Amino acid sequence: MLDLLAQTGLNAVYAASYISLVAVGLVLIFGVMGVINFAHGELFMAGAYVVVAVYADMHMPFFLAVVVGLLFVGCLGLLMERALFRPLRDNPLGGLVASIGFLMILQALASMGFGVRMEFIPPVTQHVVWFTDTISIPLARVYVIVAAVLLLSTLWYFLKRTRFGWALRASAQDPQAAELQGISIAQTAKIAMFIGAGLAGIAGTLTAPLVSVNPHMGHSVIVTAFIVIIVGGVGSLEGAIIASVVYAFVHTFVTTFYGGVIADITGLSLMLLVLIVKPTGLFGSADRA
């Protein structure tokens, strides 16, 4: 029993690490741009397809595929910022519809380029890390955990310690005041979109060998990310990370013991419960709604 709990706990840590990568990107985009990026799950999907193209089809090293994925999806984010969100800055519902349109385009491109069937990706490594005789974790999952911790702490340092980070947080808090201080809103928007999209892309590349890659894989990712950022409080990066961990643990444990559908219901009920008790999420403030 204790072994099962420890094993499930390890799986939960893995789930938490890639969910928090996606959720933090979504929060960053919402904080700076003020739009709900519905296409965020499809950015994750795009990252996974970069691995299909570069690693599985062209037989390049996996590490290269991850870097290409980060850059490619980051550039998709820049494209979205320039073509969609900048012209629609004063129109939050417009940003929503535009990102839905972008989502459909990305899905259609993926199914036209690669087909709608599940892609086979050769495993990056067959190694399994054994803690005891019964508790183990595949090395590929350890990569995801390590990458998530490294990336999120780098982002943390960037946001709290560098001038760019200050500018980014300032324009998330109050765009007009930030602009009066000489901060270029367009500049920070670009940086935020690149980082936000890139995080989703890198999560997609790292998990691609571990999950089933298909054009509709973004759907469950975006649903999870929405739950997480709501529980954490929209616009709060710390909240998003903590909520990712909580959600991943609850979801993984309930899935292990009661099955997937009950786990989904539990996750959603947990979120509704948090909203009923504190309608702005655990770490949210009222004015960011």
Partner 1 sequence: MLKYLIWPIAAVALIALPHGLSFSQQEILVFLTINILVVSSYRLLTLTGEWSLAHVVIMGVGAYASAMMTKNLGIYVPISMLLGGITAALIAVILSFPLFRMKGFYFLIGSFAAGEIIRLLWKHFRDPFGGAKGIKGIDPMPDFSIGIYNFDFFEPVSYFYFAGFIVIICLWILWRIERSPVGLTFHAVHWQDKLAEASGVNLRAYRTLAFAIASGFAGIGGALLAHYIGTINPGSFDLDYMVFVLTWAIVGGTGTFYGPILGCVVLTILNEVVLREMGFEQLRPLIYGAILIASILFLPNGLESIVQKFTKRRAKP
Return residues touching partner 1 (CB under 8 A): 36, 83-84, 87-88, 91, 93-94, 96-98, 100-105, 107-109, 111-112, 219, 223, 226-227, 230, 234, 261-262, 264-265, 268-269, 271-272, 275-276, 279-281, 289
Label each residue of the chain as H, E or C: CHHHHHHHHHHHHHHHHHHHHHHHHHHHHHHHHCCCCCCHHHHHHHHHHHHHHHHHHCCCCHHHHHHHHHHHHHHHHHHHHHHHHCCCCCCHHHHHHHHHHHHHHHHHHHHHHHCCCCECCCCCCCCEEECCCCCEEEHHHHHHHHHHHHHHHHHHHHHHHCHHHHHHHHHHHCHHHHHHCCCCHHHHHHHHHHHHHHHHHHHHHHHCCCCCECCCCHHHHHHHHHHHHHHHCCCCHHHHHHHHHHHHHHHHHHHHHHCHHHHHHHHHHHHHHHHHHCCCCCCCCHHHC
Residue 115: how many CB atoms within 10 A of its CB?
Answer: 11
Least distance from partner 1 to the Cβ atom of residue 104, Å: 3
- C-beta of 138: minimal distance to partner 1 in Å? 29
Cβ proximity to partner 1: between 6 and 79 the closer is 79
Shortest approach of partner 1 to residue 54 CB, angstroms?
23
CB of residue 265 vs partner 1: minimum separation in angstroms?
Answer: 5
Q: State the nearest-atom distance from the C-beta of 181 to partner 1, in Å.
A: 27
Residue closer to partner 1 (CB basis): 52 or 88: 88
Looking at the Cβ atoms of 190 and 219, the one nearer to partner 1 is 219
Rounded to a whole number of angstroms, the minimum distance from the CB of residue 268 to partner 1 is 4
Cβ nearer to partner 1, comparing 36 with 56 = 36
Q: In the bound complex, what is the minimum distance in angstroms from residue 277's beta carbon to partner 1?
A: 9
CB-wise, 64 or 289, nearer to partner 1? 289
- Comparing CB distances to partner 1, the nearer of 121 and 254 is 254
Please tell me the distance from the alpha carbon of residue 285 to that of residue 270, in angstroms, as a whole number.
19
Q: Which is nearer to partner 1, 86 or 190 (CB)?
A: 86
- Helix 260-277 and helix 218-232: axis angle, to 10°? 30
Beta-bridge mates of residue 130: 136
Gap between the terminal Cα atoms of the chain: 43
In the complex with partner 1, which residue's Cβ is closer, 121 or 221? 221
How far is 247 from 12, CA to CA, in rounded Å? 9
The least distance separating partner 1 from the CB of residue 183, rounded to whole angstroms, comes to 25
